[in-house]
Amino acid sequence: MYCGVDIGARSTEVVLFDGAQVVESAVADSGTSPRESARGLFHRVLDAAGIRRSELAATVSTGYGRNYFAESDRAVSEIMCHGRGVLYLFPDARTVVDIGGQDSKLIILDDSGRVVDFVMNDRCAAGTGRFVEMVAHTVGTDLPSLNDMVRGHQGSVDISSMCAVFAESELVGLLQGGTPVPTILNGVFRAIARRTISMAGRAQIRPRLVFTGGVARTEAVAAALGEETGLEVSIPYDPQITGALGAAIIAAEAARGSTTASP
């Protein structure tokens, strides 16, 4: 059994992998003490699977807190882990868009599945899960309600600022001016898609495009990515765990002394 632990700024994911499939997985808030949160989640996942720590062949950590997780055997960058996790689920993936709580990544894979380029925004909240949470709060709703609010609505509006501070003021102005909330939301989602795609340039975006991270649960953002790129957007069954899954697969490959893990 192999384990991957992805310790992010907003959430932590743990995946148990038996070399062929995911055996157990869980997601929890990182909270104010990510190290302790990760350790607690790690042991809860082991308990849920009926596995003792000594039975793990290897554990790999990734994410912001990867170097502070004492139970791991190795720390690997989140770019490598996200790429590997997505490739396992979608062997023909060539572009990965990952939008998490406090950062966004665009990863380019070559025809053999290797990471050949990436760009990462971890300095600004624009386009991240935190930004989407701010938008939901500003229009008076919550994250789970966003999909229903815009479903079937075609109207949109240009959002001129993607700075979280200035965008909030712009949204308040639109609301006060009578712009319908679904129209505002569609404009926000398209602005997020445009900003994300512009990180690497449209020329590098190739199918298959896979969308991961907590924001991938907002279907309207995925739809906006599809409209902006002209490509079909694929979303994993659990878009938040791909980094931890990739870490677990890398753990399996290292323990076996191989370069691939069979789907």
pTM of the model as a whole: 0.91
- Let me know: does 102 contact 127? Beta carbons within 8 Å: no
Q: Closest Cα to residue 148, out of 182, 105, 198? A: 182
Structural domains in the chain (count): 2
Instruction: Please identify every stretch of the chain with a pLDDT value under 50, giving residue numbers as ranges.
Output: 259-263
The answer on 86 and 97 residing in a single domain is no
Predicted pLDDT of residue 259: 45
Predicted pLDDT of residue 261: 47
Q: Closest Cα to residue 5, out of 53, 59, 79, 52? A: 59
Predicted pLDDT of residue 262: 41
The answer on 222 and 105 residing in a single domain is yes
At 58, which CATH number? 3.30.420.40
**Cβ–Cβ contacts within 10 Å for residue 15, how many?**
28
The answer on 139 and 163 residing in a single domain is yes
At how many degrees (to 10) do helices 78-89 and 242-256 cross? 90
Burial (Cβ within 10 Å: 0-12, 13-18, ≥19) of residue 187: buried
What helix, strand, coil percent values describe the chain, rounded to 5? 45, 20, 35
Helices (H) and strands (E) in the chain, counts: 8, 10
Predicted pLDDT of residue 162: 74
Predicted pLDDT of residue 202: 66
Predicted pLDDT of residue 125: 73
The answer on 230 and 106 residing in a single domain is yes
The answer on 209 and 176 residing in a single domain is yes
The answer on 196 and 245 residing in a single domain is no
- 226 contacts: CB under 8 Å, gap ≥ 6: 209, 232, 233
Predicted pLDDT of residue 203: 63
The answer on 198 and 149 residing in a single domain is yes
d(CA 218, CA 147): 6
The answer on 104 and 213 residing in a single domain is yes
Predicted pLDDT of residue 27: 97
- Model pLDDT for residues 211-246, shown as the tens digit of each residue: 999 999 999 999 999 999 999 999 999 999 999 999
Token pair of 12 as six digits: 């932590």
d(CA 94, CA 90): 9
The answer on 84 and 106 residing in a single domain is no
The answer on 176 and 75 residing in a single domain is no
- Let me know: does 58 contact 252? Beta carbons within 8 Å: yes
The answer on 100 and 175 residing in a single domain is yes
Predicted pLDDT of residue 260: 46
d(CA 187, CA 159): 6
The answer on 109 and 231 residing in a single domain is yes
The domain containing residue 24 runs over which residues?
1-90+240-263
- Let me know: does 37 contact 64? Beta carbons within 8 Å: no
Encoded amino acid at 10, one letter: R
